[in-house]
């Protein structure tokens, strides 16, 4: 805990057997209350290793996609009464030691969301980020900031911390089960007016680290452009979209409460 806030780390995992132990070891366990891993139907021994490490482990019988995995992660974190939920990839690309900084910024009550930015650190390329991904990151971030009136250094990091209010109330069940889920979630955060903070985070690119391929990157990029334009049209009152709905039927908190009442 930090300042009396329960901290739950969620690990959306797929084929993470080779990097999970190293990721787990670097987590600051002295301040983390629970660790949840959701294995998205991996063919390797990710789930077995997670259980050996003492991680609370859930396994999808069928692959649900990156977004579908996160929905399960956040659902389980809320069931554990998390005050702060931190999403960390178990591929050791991001440094787990920054969990303390991320959690503290939310526990302070100043921020609702904190993202670990690869751009603020100025080490993205030195850490091995492919040039085409770096250029695409900068172009997409510039476009999205203009369209959404925000000033984030990037929207595409996979290392994020959220308050329970964010995870519980955003219409996450409406979002995609694929990679664009991350961007949809940040667009919803901005739309709801939640306060966003950033910390700099060095990253590592190596063969065992997960990374979407070029074709999926293109699909993701087009999705980011679409989300940005939809946000602007919605802001102008020219578009209605479930992406920005306040209907509680799309929230994880409502889904959990409905399950409990059955």
- CATH code for the domain in which residue 25 is found: 3.90.550.10
Q: What's the gap between Cα 32 and its chain centre?
A: 17
Q: Are 113 and 161 in contact (CB under 8 A)?
A: yes
Q: Residue range 160-166: average pLDDT? A: 98
- In a 13 Å sphere around the CA of 240, the CA atoms on its Cβ side amount to 2
Report yes or no on 89 lying in a domain: yes
Report yes or no on 1 lying in a domain: no
Q: Residue range 101-110: average pLDDT? A: 97
Report yes or no on 11 lying in a domain: yes
> Per-residue pLDDT tens for 188-244?
999 999 999 999 998 877 666 656 677 888 999 999 999 999 999 999 999 999 999
Report yes or no on 170 lying in a domain: yes
Q: Is 197 exposed, middle or buried (0-12, 13-18, 19+ CB in 10 A)?
A: middle
Query: Can you give the residue range of the structural domain that contains 196?
Result: 7-261
Pairing state of beta strands 56-59 and 7-13? unpaired
Q: How many domains does the chain have?
A: 1
The total of other beta-carbon atoms located within 10 Å of residue 112's CB is 20
Report yes or no on 251 lying in a domain: yes
Q: Rounded to an integer, what distance in angstroms lies between the CA atom of residue 32 and that of residue 101?
A: 12
DSSP H helix total and E strand total for the chain: 9, 7
Q: Rounded to an integer, what distance in angstroms lies between the CA atom of residue 199 and that of residue 158?
A: 13
Residue 261 has pLDDT above 80, yes or no: no
> Per-residue pLDDT tens for 77-99?
999 999 999 999 999 999 999 99
- Whole-number pLDDT of residue 36: 98
* Confidence label for 137 from pLDDT (cuts 50, 70 and 90): very high
| Contacts of 246-252 spanning 24+ positions with Cβ under 8 A | 246/171, 247/171, 248/169, 249/173, 250/171, 250/172, 250/173, 250/174, 251/168, 251/169, 251/170, 251/171, 251/172, 251/173, 252/71, 252/74, 252/75, 252/78, 252/167, 252/168, 252/172, 252/173
- Residue 35 DSSP code: E
- Whole-number pLDDT of residue 210: 58
Nearest CA to 9 out of 80, 59, 65, 60 is that of 80
Model-level pTM?
Answer: 0.94
């Amino acid at each position: 805990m930090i300042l009396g806030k329960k901290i739950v780390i969620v690990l959306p995992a797929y084929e993470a057997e080779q990097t999970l132990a190293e990721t787990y070891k670097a987590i600051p366990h002295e301040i983390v209350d629970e660790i949840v891993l959701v294995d998205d139907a991996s063919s390797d021994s990710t789930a077995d290793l997670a259980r050996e490490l003492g991680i609370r482990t859930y396994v999808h019988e069928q692959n649900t996609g990156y977004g579908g995995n996160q929905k399960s992660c956040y659902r389980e974190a809320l069931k554990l009464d998390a005050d702060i939920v931190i999403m960390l990839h178990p591929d050791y690309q991001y440094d787990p030691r920054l969990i303390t900084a991320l959690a503290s910024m939310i526990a302070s009550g100043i921020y609702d969301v904190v993202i670990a930015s690869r751009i603020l650190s100025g080490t993205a390329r030195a850490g091995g980020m492919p040039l085409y991904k770096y250029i695409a990151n900068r172009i997409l971030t510039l476009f999205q900031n203009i369209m959404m009136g925000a000033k984030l250094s990037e929207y595409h990091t996979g290392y994020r911390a959220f308050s329970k209010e964010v995870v519980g109330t955003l219409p996450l069940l409406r979002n995609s089960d694929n990679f664009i889920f991350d961007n949809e979630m940040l667009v919803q955060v901005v739309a709801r007016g939640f306060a966003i903070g950033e910390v700099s985070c060095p990253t590592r690119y190596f063969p065992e680290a997960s990374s979407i391929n070029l074709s999926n990157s293109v699909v993701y990029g087009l999705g980011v452009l679409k989300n940005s334009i939809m946000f602007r049209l919605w802001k102008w009152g020219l578009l209605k979209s479930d992406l920005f709905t306040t209907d509680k039927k799309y929230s994880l908190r409502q889904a959990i409460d409905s399950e409990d009442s059955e």
